[in-house]
Amino acid sequence: MDRSKKPSAIGVGASLPQPSLSIKDNVIEASLPTGQSVAVNLYGATVTSWKVNGKEHLFVSEKAHLDGSKPIRGGIPLVFPVFGPPPQNHDTSSLPQHGFARNSNWEFLGKSAFEAPGSNSDQSHMNVKLDFGLSHSMLTDEFRQMWPHEFGLVYSVTLTKDTLETALQVRNDGQKNFEFQVLMHTYLKVADISDVRVKGLESKTYIDKTLQATSHTESSPALAITQETDRVYQNLDPAVPVIVASADDKPLFSITREALSDVVVWNPWIEKAKGMADFGPDEAYKNMICVEAGSVSGWQTLEAGDTWEGGQSIQARL
Ligand SMILES: O=P(O)(O)OC[C@H]1O[C@H](O)[C@H](O)[C@@H](O)[C@@H]1O
């Protein structure tokens, strides 16, 4: 059949400028006509850049390995199926810290662009979603042996005018139930950590990993970071934003979650930063704060054939 007269674009929004996409050296980059861009490295499906009008919002260490030899130190590494050092006598016991998702090669499944209606047609704009996949058969032999479950992950990275959304779908393709933890280990870029406060954590219980994993209750409505900080805040309402603000209360980022009720706040501070070979320069701990949305306090049990979904939406408020 002669399809030469096929319309090249159909429907509402066809006249709006379209997002652009480039694929180079294992990195997928998408840009919106409104001036935002996102870059995702297929190694770990790690988001390594999120820019709004040229301003970078994610921190990536200058010494980060971008060649697939080590998880990327910065951006948004995805932690799955275990957070931190795996417990003993568990399905995940032989895996490395934070599991295998951040150090596996993912597949790019494709891009979809869609119109986000504004209050009038002049304000309408395009969003773009990039999908990435990882399944049991794509793992290295070593990882397959360490975690012998048939699974499928679809990770969607959506860029809008003022948000970056990351969502994960976990499928159990096998015959047996499995347990997992998941976390989006977001390194937010900040100008100066002494001018940062984290809000939305007051009265919440947290495990302080710098104090032998003891349990505490957050007393501050606006948490300042003044030393090594490594806390797992538990049982938060995912719909209530965690806000990263300046000391004089200007919001910088606002993070809402779906099905992720824990939030880790991490800054390695001076000594730990110096001790990490891939963290640099040494002073860079001043330019980052990790606010990590996850489900890590317990385990999600996924029955054979079932699917779980969760995600975060980060709004840049600058
Ligand atoms: O060095 P990594 O394996 O990337 O882990 C970096 C950090 O991740 C999380 O934030 C943990 O709570 C920290 O305890 C850990 O140090």
Quick one: which atom of ligand 1 is closest to the CA of 272?
16
User: What is the model's pLDDT at position 117?
Assistant: 84
Of 7-16, 26-35, 163-172, 202-211, where does mean pLDDT reach its minimum?
7-16
ipTM of the complex: 0.98
Considering the domain boundaries, does residue 279 fall inside one? yes
Q: Does pLDDT of 103 surpass 70?
A: yes
pLDDT band at 125 (very low <50, low <70, confident <90, very high): confident
Distance 84 CA to ligand 1 centre (A): 7
Number of structural domains found in the chain = 1
Considering the domain boundaries, does residue 12 fall inside one? no
Report pTM.
Answer: 0.94
Check which CATH number belongs to the domain holding 56 and give it: 2.70.98.10
Measuring from atom 7 of ligand 1, which residue has the nearest CA?
266
Considering the domain boundaries, does residue 5 fall inside one? no
In this prediction, what percent of the chain has a pLDDT beyond 70? 95
Is residue 140 in contact with ligand 1, taking CB distance under 6 Å? no
Q: Does pLDDT of 268 surpass 50?
A: yes
User: What is the model's pLDDT at position 10?
Assistant: 47
Measuring from atom 13 of ligand 1, which residue has the nearest CA?
230
Q: Does pLDDT of 11 surpass 80?
A: no
Averaged pLDDT, 239-247:
98
Ligand 1 pocket test, candidate residues 230, 232, 291, 292, most atoms within 8 A of CB: 230
CB 196 within 8 A of CB 226: no
Considering the domain boundaries, does residue 3 fall inside one? no
| Domain interval for residue 292 | 20-316
Distance 262 CA to ligand 1 centre (A): 15
Measuring from atom 12 of ligand 1, which residue has the nearest CA?
230
Distance 216 CA to ligand 1 centre (A): 20
Distance 234 CA to ligand 1 centre (A): 17
Q: Does pLDDT of 7 surpass 60?
A: no
Is residue 215 in contact with ligand 1, taking CB distance under 6 Å? no
Rg of the chain over all Cα atoms, to the nearest angstrom = 20
What type of residue sits at position 52? V
- Model confidence over 77-88: pLDDT tens digits? 999 999 999 999
User: What is the model's pLDDT at position 1?
Assistant: 43
Considering the domain boundaries, does residue 190 fall inside one? yes
Q: Does pLDDT of 13 surpass 50?
A: no
pLDDT band at 14 (very low <50, low <70, confident <90, very high): low
